[in-house]
Structure 1
Amino acid sequence: SGCTVQHNLINETPSQIVQGHNQVIHQYFDEKNTSGVLVIQTDKKINLYGNALSRANTEYVPASTFKMLNALIGLENQKTDINEIFKWKGEKRSFTAWEKDMTLGEAMKLSAVPVYQELARRIGLDLMQKEVKRIGFGNAEIGQQVDNFWLVGPLKVTPIQEVEFVSQLAHTQLPFSEKVQANVKNMLLLEESNGYKIFGKT
């Protein structure tokens, strides 16, 4: 296995990156006729598994995973709160599940793009650019349209950068208030049972 060190853009702490050789995980991707990488971080050690490990350092648009940072920025800058109901105005949306009133947390679980586009418009281009740059998220480039840069670019992030960002959120280490980070983490809770909790965002 190979080993490299990468500096985290968010807090400049180095992470040790290890290329793992787990044949079972490799086969999962092969069986589905697809290529991919599984990135797992424990403390400062990052393990890579799969049949296309180079993807771990390849930039992609963050798509709906940006909802985490969008929510953090919106709450920190008081553009919304966790109790606000974002009203559905009756327009046709991509999924019928999105066609209703929602809080930010409900919209996170349903990955409702229109709610987070509205939040982004409230944040505004200047503040959004300033905050994305302050956090050092991915290439930190948002372009000139505030409500779709995470879906079509120019914002891009590597899987390793994404995992490091989520790790810092999990440990309440991002440069946002502890309360805001706790509120966003609660939005990401998927399952809780027998003393464990699973958080996630597609």
Structure 2
Amino acid sequence: MNPLPFLFFFILSCTTKPAETHTQATQENPQKVLKPEFKALLDAANLNGSILIFDSQTKTFYTNDFAWSEKGQLPASTFKIPNAIIALETGVVENDSVLLEWHGEKRVFEVWEQDLIFRKAFQVSCVPCFQEIARNIGGERMNAYLDKLGYGGTIQVDSVTIDNFWLHGESRINQFEQIDFLSRFYQSELPISQRTEALMKNIMVIEDKGTYKISGKTGWTYSDERNNGWFVGYIESEDKVHFFATNFEPKDNSNIEAFNAARKDLTYEGLRVLGILK
């Protein structure tokens, strides 16, 4: 049984909103290196897709499949990164401790069935919480900020689709675009306040071991009978930063729990292949 039934929505007509394209990293003539070791990791897990890692020092992209990395996918919950940024910038959410109340309705996961502060809602990927935030931002402001931030490839959003466009429909972002957005965010190149940037960099931390720190966000959609999973972010280690965007789909849906865990696990293994994560 698929764990995400809430992702089924009626197909709604939207206005196509292509975000302003920023490809700073790719405009610097990066090297592109094919890593068959990444493919072996995905094959062993019965997955189709790619692990894309960018070394910002040497301007080198590593992946097992450049064609897959260039293919647009629904953003899924990776969109919580720009959604959270826009919420903070517009004042829809004042800070990372704002309480998002639960009103007793049934939700897909038990961890969502409670009052959550904004930071925790991001970290447990509370979809209903961020749907409410998106509705409060509204279609007009969402479009304006997505243009301002230069987010993604083609994003479809209007007043009707405001709370589901990242989960269902025709909005698309690819792995290179994910890394470009994260790179500009990390390097303080987004037109946002220092306060928002600092709050987000704290909210996004997943693991801090002293010798390295990993920040980012997972995502998962089920659409047209396809499960599609994301893990995007960056790792800081030894005074260096590497960006990653993993996207894949199971060859069959027989082991969804393993697919869920693989988003992070295989990204970590890819980082180990490159000697970034020990």
TM-score when normalising by structure 2: 0.65
Q: Is the 8 A contact 2:33 2:60 kept in 1?
A: no
Structure 2, unpaired ranges of 5+: 1-19, 219-278
Structure 1 stretches lacking a partner, 5+ long: 1-7
How big is the shift at 1:129?
Answer: 0.9
Superposed counterparts of 1:17-28, under 5 Å: 17-28=30-41
Alignment length (residue pairs): 194
1:91 to 77, 98, 105: 105
Whether the aligned pair in 1 keeps the contact of 2:52 and 2:62 (CA below 8 Å) is yes
1:118 to 1:34, Cα distance in 2 relative to 1, 3 A: same
Cα separation, 2, equivalents of 1:114 and 1:63: 13
Q: Which residue identity is paired with 2:129?
A: V
Q: Deviations along 1:90-118, whole A, 9 cap, x unmatched?
A: 10001011111111110111011011111
| Structure 1 residue 22 displacement after superposition | 2.5
- Residue in 1 that maps onto 2:236: none
* Counterpart residue type for residue 156 of structure 1: R
Conserved in 2, the CA contact under 8 Å of 1:36 and 1:53?
Answer: no
Is contact 2:122-2:203 (8 Å) kept?
Answer: yes
User: Secondary structure in 2 aligned to 1:201?
Assistant: strand
Deviations 1:116-173 (A, max 9, x none): 1111011001000111122221234323311011111332111100011112222222
Say which is worse superposed, 16-25 or 141-150, in terms of deviation.
16-25
- Counterpart-to-counterpart distance in 1, 2:21 and 2:35: 28
Equivalent position to 1:196, from 197, 212, 217: 212
CA contact (8 A) 1:138 1:155 kept: no
> Which of the pair is proportionally richer in strand?
2
Aligned residue runs from structure 1 range 64-83, under 5 A: 64-81=77-94, 82-83=96-97
Percent identity, aligned pairs only?
Answer: 30
SS in 2 for 1:149: coil
C-alpha distance 125-96 of structure 1, shift in aligned 2 (>3 A):
same
Q: Residues 72 and 34 of structure 1: is their aligned pair in 2 closer, same or farther, counting only changes over 3 Å?
A: same
Tell me the residue number matched to 1:157. 173
Greater helix fraction, Structure 1 or Structure 2: 1
What's the CA shift for 1:38? 1.4
Query: How far does the alpha carbon of each residue in 1:45-85 deviate from its partner, in whole angstroms, 9 at most, with x for none?
Result: 241312x3201111111000000000000101111122210
Aligned to 2:199: 183
Deviation at 1:17, TM superposition (A): 4.1
Tell me the residue number matched to 1:105: 119
Give the 3 Å change call, closer, same or farther, for CA 195–119 of structure 1 in structure 2. same
The letter of the residue matching 1:22 is K
Given candidates 70, 95, 107, the residue that maps to 1:57 is 70
How many angstroms apart in 2 are the aligned matches of 1:193 and 1:29? 26
Map of 1:30 onto structure 2: 43
Contact 2:23 2:180 in 1 (8 A): no
Contact kept? 1:169, 1:185, Cα under 8 Å: no
* Inter-CA distance 41–98: structure 2 relative to 1 (3 Å threshold): same
Distance 1:125 1:143 in 2: 6
| TM-score after normalising by structure 1 | 0.88
